[in-house]
């Protein structure tokens, strides 16, 4: 069996019929499809799902016995844990959780191309379910407008499967899925931001917030890169309300340099900003039940006809159900697809 293409957190689009039975390398789709990616409305949904369906956190969470809490973030994380009462999950033996929710996605506008439109595109609605055991084992099944995306981790490897690509694995250490950090799993949020660096406080709307920043080190970035796509940076910032102690906004940015033989380098910068709202008590723990993510995806590079191509997207989500300690959920439920296991 041919080696799997690494999991890309950049936009992906369908492969040709001659290669539909195998994973499509990043180099192949860049060479054949980048000129058309922003020109065809039929690519809108694939672009939305590639960016928003199941992105990963930039930072892997250390084991509990080696987790070090930064002195700068210690008070902020303590306040967040106390407010959400996430210790109830830990002390009560909360080893897993189930989440069901709905999503609504749209490509808002596009700038920098002759065919660009400033009018919002068609709204795509769907639903998702997520299972999780600790931060390292998780599984998401998301369906939007008849297109199904699955992603998961068994604690050793993270993977994703889309209608236009076979299952493909992520490079580097396993990381939490970003949806869990959007107010759904306070235990994982606290663990993820424990080593974060505190930066200048900011207002988010009327809320004055403590700001914690996570930055991926250069060695980790090099492990996640390959000879076609070099990840230059991947940072995440959490905004914690000084008044309530809750996480109210989550931002992350990723810059990738992409180059294939015979062409000049292109740069993709993806910035995702998520407002997190409607915290409700579930079994004594506060869980966010709605939010909105806005995305700015920019493409630029030497030799491009326009200086930058910018695409803006939006996703709104609502949580319908959260259950802790699901009976029968075990490590076997997170086994990767055969394509992943056989590599």
Q: What tens digit of pLDDT does each residue of 10-23 get? A: 444 333 333 333 33
User: Do the domain assignments include residue 8?
Assistant: no
User: Do the domain assignments include residue 321?
Assistant: yes
Count structural domains, the chain: 1
Residue 295 scores a pLDDT above 60: yes
Whether residue 191 contacts residue 72, with contact meaning beta carbons closer than 8 Å, is answered with no
Q: Is 64 helix (H, G, I), strand (E, B) or coil?
A: helix
Pairwise CA distance, residues 220 & 230, whole Å:
11
Pairwise CA distance, residues 154 & 320, whole Å:
25
Give residue 303's pLDDT band: very low, low, confident or very high (50, 70, 90).
low
Pairwise CA distance, residues 54 & 63, whole Å:
23
The phi and psi torsions of 221 (rounded to 5 degrees) equal -65, -40
User: Do the domain assignments include residue 215?
Assistant: yes
Q: Which of 20-29, 58-67, 188-197 has the highest mean pLDDT?
A: 188-197
Pairwise CA distance, residues 40 & 34, whole Å:
11
pLDDT tens profile 215-260 = 999 999 999 998 888 999 999 999 999 999 999 999 999 999 988 7
The pLDDT score that the predictor gives to residue 32 is 41
Pairwise CA distance, residues 291 & 289, whole Å:
7
User: Do the domain assignments include residue 280?
Assistant: yes
Structural tokens at position 317: 């989500």
Structural tokens at position 125: 């609605």
User: Do the domain assignments include residue 68?
Assistant: yes
The alpha carbon of residue 265 and the mean position of all alpha carbons in its chain are separated, in whole angstroms, by 25
Q: How far is CA 236 from CA 153, 174, 266, in A?
A: 20, 16, 23
Question: What does R_g of the chain's alpha carbons equal in angstroms?
Answer: 20
Pairwise CA distance, residues 194 & 133, whole Å:
19
Residue 262 scores a pLDDT above 80: no
The pLDDT score that the predictor gives to residue 70 is 65
Tell me how far apart the 2 most distant CA atoms of the chain are, in Å. Answer: 59
Residue 36 scores a pLDDT above 60: no
Pairwise CA distance, residues 172 & 170, whole Å:
7
Give residue 43's pLDDT band: very low, low, confident or very high (50, 70, 90).
confident
Residue 86 scores a pLDDT above 60: yes
User: Do the domain assignments include residue 12?
Assistant: no
Model pTM? 0.85
Give the residue numbers spanning the domain of 327: 25-341
Structural tokens at position 118: 């400033």
User: Do the domain assignments include residue 312?
Assistant: yes
């Amino acid at each position: 069996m041919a080696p799997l293409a690494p999991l890309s957190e950049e936009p992906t689009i369908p492969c040709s019929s001659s290669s539909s039975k195998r994973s499509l390398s990043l180099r192949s789709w860049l060479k054949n499809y980048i000129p058309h990616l922003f020109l065809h409305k039929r690519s809108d949904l694939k672009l939305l799902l590639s960016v928003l369906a199941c992105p990963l956190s930039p930072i892997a969470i250390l084991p509990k016995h080696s987790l070090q809490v930064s002195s700068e973030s210690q008070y902020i994380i303590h306040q967040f844990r106390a407010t959400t009462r996430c210790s109830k999950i830990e002390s009560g033996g909360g080893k897993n959780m189930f989440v069901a929710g709905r999503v609504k996605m749209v490509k808002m506008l596009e700038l920098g191309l002759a065919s660009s439109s400033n009018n919002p595109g068609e709204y795509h609605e769907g639903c998702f379910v997520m299972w999780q055991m600790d931060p390292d084992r998780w599984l998401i099944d998301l369906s939007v407008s008849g297109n199904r995306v699955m992603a998961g981790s068994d604690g050793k490897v993270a993977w994703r499967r889309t209608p236009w690509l076979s299952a493909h694995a992520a490079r580097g250490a396993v990381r939490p899925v970003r949806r869990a950090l959007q107010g759904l799993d306070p235990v994982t949020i606290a663990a993820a931001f424990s080593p974060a660096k505190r930066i200048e406080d900011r207002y988010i709307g009327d809320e004055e917030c403590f700001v914690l920043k996570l930055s991926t080190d250069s060695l980790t970035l090099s492990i996640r890169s390959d000879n076609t796509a070099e990840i230059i940076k991947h940072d995440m910032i959490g905004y914690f309300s000084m008044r309530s102690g809750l996480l109210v906004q989550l931002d992350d940015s990723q810059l990738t340099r992409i180059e294939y033989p015979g062409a000049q380098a292109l740069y993709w910068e993806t910035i995702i900003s998520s407002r997190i709202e409607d915290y409700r008590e579930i079994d004594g723990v506060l869980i966010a039940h709605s939010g909105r993510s806005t995305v700015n995806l920019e493409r630029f590079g030497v030799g491009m006809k326009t200086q930058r191509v910018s695409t803006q997207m939006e996703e709104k989500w609502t949580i319908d159900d959260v259950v802790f300690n699901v009976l029968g959920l075990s490590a076997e439920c997170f086994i990767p697809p055969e394509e992943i296991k056989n590599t």
